[in-house]
Amino acid sequence: MLQRTRPTPRQRRVVFVMTPHTVLLDVTGPLQAFHDANGLASQTAPTPDHPYEPDHPYEIVLASQTGGPIVTDTGIALPTVALSTLADKAIDTLIIAGTDEPLIALNDPALLGWLIAQKMQVRRVASICIGAFLLGAAGILDGRIAVTHWRWCDRLQTRFPQARIKPDPIYVRDGPVWTSAGVTTGIDMAIAMIEEDLGRDAALAVARGLIMFIKRPGGQSQFSQPLSQQVGDRDGRFDTLHVWMRKNLHLRLSVEDLAAQAHMSPRNFSRVYARETGTGPAHALEEMRMDAARTCLENTDSSVARIAVLCGFGDDERMRRCFIKHLAVAPSDYRARFTTSLCV
């Protein structure tokens, strides 16, 4: 089990572990966020809460098993130090970057042995994209909720059945273990780590500098609900119906109403819709309503009760039950977590 020590006011060492063909943005995106946090901290006078020694709160290290240049997926090489040289100073945050050749590193016993040895030593360990496979191989994901890029979620769950893989979030924190979906979501995760370490003001400042949300719209989801339906309905047979549904969510729509709009009998409509989209029409309608409600909660000051009516739930209690069922959070708590009132 990873230690749950409180962060110290001293400089935190953040180590990115790279393997051949590491995805460049998996490293440089979050690295930029930590670098910007350093730059902002150097412009701010120390306080009793954050007496940095030295001014920069983060020491950023790129490392690999053997050290030397690591060629990324883009062909650009990044310099690294060997893992064996890191024993001189404790690692605060260990981040395993993703790669476009995901399973090769799993055959490196020296790398896996090093990761296993770190489990009881680092305060926080994380993965970006399919770097989660290395965490899984080291036993770090056992009994924990985790995420990776949506293309690899099923494979990660199959390979590491003791983990609980969630395909939807862009990043997940389960105690001291953080995992992200990869590519740009590594930046979201890094900003969340900065918020944990340095406070919300510092995270907001970094997000502003990167022209990002401190909390991404859509409730930290890899997929928006409309995009998910487009992927499911590959032939676009119900595109027109979906547009109509979204425009009329405030109405009390029944399967019969949807079937009439699609010019089909209710029985045939339900059968064909499920076959073409992979879900039932009632479930699709509920997801649309929840997605619309999420957008309203994130971007408007309307009351929860008003949003429930506008999105077709009828009352706020029905909407609350839907949010608890799908997101495990009440609408008011969702708004507090994922409001997008950030101004750049």
pLDDT tens digits, 282-320: 989 998 898 889 888 877 889 999 999 999 999 999 999
- CATH of the structural domain 10-210, one choice from 3.40.50.880, 3.40.50.300, 1.20.1050.10, 2.60.120.10: 3.40.50.880
Quote the mean pLDDT of the chain: 84
pLDDT in the model for residue 151: 85
CA distance 184 to 30: 8
Q: Which residues contact 199 (CB under 8 A, 6 or more apart)?
A: 49, 50
H or E segment and range at residue 17: strand 10-17
Q: What is the mean pLDDT of residues 209-229?
A: 56
pLDDT tens digits, 69-114: 999 999 999 999 999 999 989 999 999 999 877 677 888 899 999 9
* pTM, two decimal places: 0.64
From the list 153, 186, 193, the residue with the least C-alpha distance to 25 is 186
Is 225-338 a domain of CATH 3.40.50.300?
no
Within the chain, residue ranges assigned H as helices are 24-42, 109-118, 132-137, 153-159, 185-198, 200-210, 225-232, 239-247, 255-261, 266-277, 281-299, 304-310, 316-327, 331-338
From the list 27, 34, 37, the residue with the least C-alpha distance to 73 is 27
Supply 202's token pair.
Answer: 């510092």
215 in Cβ contact with 200 (< 8 Å): no
Supply 275's token pair.
Answer: 């076959």
CA distance 258 to 261: 5
Domain ranges of the chain: 10-210, 225-338
Strand order in the sheet with 93-96: 81-82, 53-64, 10-17, 93-96, 124-128, 177-180, 171-174
Better pLDDT: 311 or 7: 311
